[in-house]
Amino acid sequence: MRAASASGVWGFWFDVVRNLFGWFRLVGREFRTRRGRFLVTSLPMLWLALFFLVPFLIVLKISFSQAVFGQVPPYTALVEHAADGAVSLRLHASNYAMLLSDPLYVSAYLKSLLFASVSTGFCLLLGYPIAYGIARARPSMRLVLLVLVVLPFWTSSLLRTYALMGILKANGLLGQVLSAIALVEPGWGILYSDAAVYVGIVYNYLPFMILPLTATLMRLDFTLLEAAEDLGAKPWHAFMRITLPLSMPGIIAGALLVFIPAVGEFVIPDILGGPDALTIGRVLWIEFFTNRDWPLAAAVTIAMLVLIVAPTLLFEYVENRRADQEAANT
């Protein structure tokens, strides 16, 4: 009995693992065929469809309904079956009209874009020299440095943001140090200000800038810099004409990795920002949890997505066309 039940449990996992290996084998064998390629791409496609596309469509659907309070779910149905058997589809555009008409939303979007773009700029300025240093370090040292960059992730972002409160508040650690060297008056602090939000975002997202930059800079052939100097370029010119253009893929990847989540960031402006640091993330929270207006919250989300995705897609399109043209020249 016992043996049978054990074989039942273990047999199940055994089958799972075996099927998984079978799948890999199949993919490996048919990798070059159409079917093989389809199998390889089907897994990420399925994942994205289940966990991105379907939720997105649900949110999109909700954004076109109207809020109804006191019922579950708290919004009107999009598709209704009338008594006479007809099916009616009701789309409410009022939520989107609201986003445009109420200056609160427009200013929240602008504020979010400002926070995100300035923070991305600071991350780049801080992250580039760090990434350059890591890329040029000895391989053994490089690993240590990379671990140190990632190490803060071992602690929850929320905890680290709360810790920043203690540093940035009036008479906090930063204020004490700066007043000790007589740079500021005692009692100085920047908590609950835009500056604190910038500090928080830059601190939290810096690794996302450093990692892709390091990867790109590590692939850079440093003989190219020697060649540039040999041809008469001073170190600064060699950097501007060789290193910087060749590290562009890393800069773009890092900037997107920082910019996109920073636009929707809720926790950092909520904890560190003042009342006027009203970002799109905070507006979303208020609409959803305080006002319980699901459709409006959904519309805010969709608008934010369009705002972020549009430039990304445009960039992808331009980049692909450039790559295609280059390939066509061959």
Q: What are phi and psi of 87, to 5 degrees?
A: -110, 125
Q: In terms of CB distance, is 35 or 219 closer to other proteins?
A: 219
**Shortest Å, Cβ 273 to other proteins:** 41
DSSP alpha helices (H): ranges in the chain?
A: 2-29, 34-48, 54-63, 94-101, 103-136, 139-150, 157-168, 173-180, 194-219, 223-230, 235-238, 244-246, 248-263, 267-272, 280-285, 294-329
* Collapsed DSSP state (helix, strand, coil) of residue 302: helix
Q: In terms of CB distance, is 39 or 220 closer to other proteins?
A: 220
Q: In terms of CB distance, is 237 or 321 closer to other proteins?
A: 237
Footprint of other proteins on this chain (CB under 8 A)? 221, 223-224, 226-234, 237, 241-242, 245-246, 326, 329-330
* Collapsed DSSP state (helix, strand, coil) of residue 79: strand
**Shortest Å, Cβ 138 to other proteins:** 14
**Shortest Å, Cβ 181 to other proteins:** 38
Q: Which long-range contacts (CB under 8 A, 24 or more apart) does 86-91 make?
A: 90/65, 91/64
Q: How far apart are CA 26 and CA 33, in angstroms?
A: 11
Q: What is the DSSP letter of 184?
A: S
Q: In terms of CB distance, is 139 or 245 closer to other proteins?
A: 245
**Shortest Å, Cβ 135 to other proteins:** 17
CA distances from 293 to 67, 129, 257, 287 (A): 6, 45, 30, 5
What is the signed CA dihedral for 210, 215, 220, 221, rounded to 10 degrees? Answer: 130
**Shortest Å, Cβ 329 to other proteins:** 7
**Shortest Å, Cβ 230 to other proteins:** 5
Q: In terms of CB distance, is 80 or 226 closer to other proteins?
A: 226
Q: In terms of CB distance, is 71 or 223 closer to other proteins?
A: 223
Q: In terms of CB distance, is 228 or 272 closer to other proteins?
A: 228
**Shortest Å, Cβ 314 to other proteins:** 22
Q: How far apart are CA 114 and CA 280, in angstroms?
A: 11
Q: How far apart are CA 307 and CA 229, in angstroms?
A: 43
